Amino acid sequence: MSGLYCGVDIGSTNIKVVLVDEVAGVIARRRRPTPRLGQDTAGARAGEAEPLVLLKALEDMIIDAWRQAAGGRPIAAIAATGVGEDGCLIDAHLRPLSTAIPWFDNRAAAEADELASAHDCVDVTGLAFEPTRTAAKWLWIARHRPVPVVTGWIALTDFPAAWWSGRTFLSETLAARTACYDISARVFRDDLLAAARAPTLPPVLPAGATVGPMRPGRLTQAGAATTATRLVAGGHDHPVAASVAHRLHPDAIVDSLGTAELVYGETDRSAPPRPGIVRSVAVLPGREARFKVFELAAALAPLRLPTPSGDLLSDLLAAAEISAEAAPSVDPADHAAVAAILAQANESDARRIAAALLVACARVTAGILDDLAASGVGDGPLFATGGWSRSDALMRLRAGILGRPIHRIDEPELAALGAALIAGARPDLAHVLKISRIDA
């Protein structure tokens, strides 16, 4: 009987679960909105998450998927991936003493500025101090929500495996998101932790390390897991999702076309990254990650103009082809200027302007690829994932602008699949994954 593995993805917007059979590949998927305190909560707290509420939702999803697809087989191992910076204070029994403030909450802007002015360590940590970083949130919490008796802190993405096993840990790719972790030495910088007034941190584990066995609880009572089920360290969603492509080709470059576009590669060279290229920990040992983010959805937002069939952007993405001929020059970073031009355009000109914006966005990607190459990333095949990649016309346009074929991975829950593979699943990916080569 083939083994059964579970991957969990704790996203900013949705949480996802996949079950992976070692022969058949993904046999079940579940997705639901990420539980947050909600709009009925006063002030900025609406976006915060209660870790135990999130845990119950994940258990419900795992049990439901298991009952539908597993045929009674218990899950052999579980790993989780997800948001990089969110976490909570915990007591000695792993009970949360705080909610998890989401990474996109900017309440720690003053703390980030203070840390940045006192510590210039980007060449060591790979990250500048910004309001989104864990370190800035630690300092904000210490000042504004101090907890008298705290045993430690745990990342929200790691919380399920820690709770199920009863053992605290910190996935290494999440440690790298704190802005206090030395990427080369693979240790925390004590001076940065002290400056951020960081709580006591658990041991750092690389992706794939066993955290411990499953304790009795809801999953064992349902039969989905046993006390022999292994809990495995996962990590940050971007490198975990990219690790699927790296199993197909070790020098793969991954263009994740979601709300934000993130272009990701890895290197075993010591070349310093170009300005704007983030340096981080990779899932595979002996390598470093290099990536850059472009706010793609924000750049394309002016194209959401109503049309009889939907909106201008959707119409263009659904077309058989997107023409780049005689397209005017537009700046994808100047959203107001694009909106102003569109407001004065007739239907035909609006489509030309929209096509020009898609071309300009592809040229941004081309620039990122050049920067990655100069930062030590090899010239491997380009894989595309995410919602925007589902448009054949857009992929053909981008392949032409980038001057290379694009290999689209048609798996809606790639990060969760990556987590299941890290947990130990070994299906023949070339057989179970649908990958489409798209040329100009």
Average pLDDT over residues 216-240: 98
The tens digit of pLDDT for each residue in 117-156 reads: 999 999 999 999 999 999 999 999 999 999 888 889 999 9
**Res. 430: pLDDT tops 80:** no
Residue 270 dihedral angles phi and psi, to the nearest 5°? -95, 15
Does the domain at 4-238 match CATH 3.30.230.10? Answer given as no
pLDDT of residue 286: 82
User: Can you give the pTM of this predicted structure?
Assistant: 0.92
The tens digit of pLDDT for each residue in 161-216 reads: 999 999 999 999 999 999 999 999 999 999 999 999 999 999 999 999 999 999 99
Residue 202 near residue 42 (C-beta atoms within 8 A): no
CA distance 286 to 56: 36
Greater pLDDT, 114 or 259: 114
- Residue pointed to by tokens 């998450």: 49
- Residue pointed to by tokens 């925007």: 388
- Residue pointed to by tokens 């919602």: 387
pLDDT of residue 324: 79
State the sign of the Cα–Cα–Cα–Cα dihedral 353, 358, 363, 364. Answer: positive
**Res. 427: pLDDT tops 90:** no
Average pLDDT over residues 291-308: 95
CA distance 52 to 38: 15
Classify strands 261-267 and 288-294 as parallel, antiparallel or unpaired: antiparallel
Taking every pair of Cα atoms in the chain, the longest distance, rounded to a whole number of angstroms, is 65
Mean pLDDT, the chain, integer: 94
CA 78 to chain centre: 18
